[in-house]
Structure 1
Amino acid sequence: RKNCQLNLDVHVPQGFTYAIAAADYRGFAHLEPGTTGTEKANYYFQGSPQTSSLSHEFKGRLDDSWQATDTVGVASLVYAPCGERRNFNINTELRVSAGTSDPSRTTSFMTMDSTDGSINTTYHLAWKQCPR
């Protein structure tokens, strides 16, 4: 299991606010037959109790690049409070479960490209004007 936390500090033009509409994740997985890999992300604004969580499951046998996109429906977008500067926190997690594979004879793993310092995760922002 590997966790990574990112604090996203977005420059917001005056009179506007934003929400994360989608996020693209990618990496590499070597999953033996019977193994399951999971990519999960939690999204929330600093100081806000509202959290959204999305996950994607990958089943072995897999020895290739993987990609997952978290997409938030328009009705479910959570915007930053207008006029307040808050960090948007994203906690990502990779988990591999041995399942029916034999971990004493095989090795399974997943990597996420964005954790190596070259941020390859793409975040899509939705913007809206704040009420006056």
Structure 2
Amino acid sequence: MKYKGLVPELSVANISESKKFYLDVLGFHLEYERVEDKFAFLSLGEAQMMIEEMNGSWNTAELMYPLGRGVNFQIEMEDVEGMAAALKDQGIKLFRDVLVNHYENDDGGVMVKEILVQDPDGYLLRFSQMISVGSSL
């Protein structure tokens, strides 16, 4: 396994509940875990992240729900609408349903389909599907 240049590690309240959500609900893959440390390294496509049950080691202030205020984690995927439907079928409420956005960049811009969902600790996950400019939406 090749590690990405940036791999966020999220402090979670309950490692078992978070693993179930990421693996069973969102379809992440468990790369490895350290059970004794209540730690798991996860991937979905090219995205990588770590989750670890809160232990006080990394806390810079009191952790209160929703965690991760002010940040969202963009995760690229090929079928955002399929992910949205699967989440709804499992009774998961989307923070934001499928939306198509246009973002400017040095090449003029990109069209992106995206949804937002919160994990059990309130972290905001943005699943994004890049659409080439000029393609049918």
TM range (shorter): under 0.3
- TM-score by length of structure 1 reads 0.24
The higher-RCO structure (CA 8 Å, 6+ apart) is 1
Which structure has the larger Rg over C-alpha atoms?
Answer: 1
Indicate the structure with greater helix content: 2
